Amino acid sequence: MASEAIMKLFKKLLLINLILACGVLGHLLHKNAVGGQIEPSQAMCMAELIEEEPQTDKIKLLAKAIEKFEGNYAGSLAYRNNNPGNLRGAPTQAGRRDGFAYFRTYEDGFNALKSHIKNAALGNSRYYDYGITVEEYFNIYAPVSDDNQPNLYFNFVINETGFDRDIKLLDLL
């Protein structure tokens, strides 16, 4: 019963999105037919509306959970270094400070964290094997040997993201 109601709601939402997309397309086609030019920004907007519903960016969700656990707040080391993941090093870092990478902007640091996660998922790292789970990732990312608590870190991230406990990093791509 519940799944039937959910399916009806999904179909209604899909129809609404289709109507909106067709309305935008119709407006742009009419504008072009009456001699107006379709500007690239309008065409891009139309294309974004017509595309399939974007999936949640799971890598970003994981990176945000890491940032929260690392304590990226005004005055913290992560904040001062524009390094929300407290990465020790990254190809795009501007330098090192207090044993960690620092970045010119927060966006650079956040993008480095997302790249780090993606590379770990694909096994493009000397530290991470292809196909590891998120739990295995935290055993390496925040090892006990650095006075971390990887199990606590993992549990925090699972609670923040809602991911399954046995999820593989590859499943986030």
Q: In the chain, what are the domain boundaries?
A: 2-50, 58-172
User: Each residue of 34-79: pLDDT tens digit?
Assistant: 445 544 444 444 334 444 445 569 999 999 999 999 999 999 999 9
Nearest Cα neighbor of 138 from 115, 100, 127 is 127
- List Cβ neighbours of 129 (8 Å cut-off, separation of 6 or more): 123, 136
Report residue 155's pLDDT band, with 50, 70 and 90 as the boundaries.
Answer: very high
d(CA 45, CA 42): 5
User: Each residue of 99-147: pLDDT tens digit?
Assistant: 999 999 999 999 999 999 999 999 999 999 999 999 999 999 999 999 9
d(CA 27, CA 97): 54
Question: In CATH, what class is 58-172?
Answer: mainly alpha
The answer to whether the CB of 153 falls within 8 A of the CB of 138 is yes
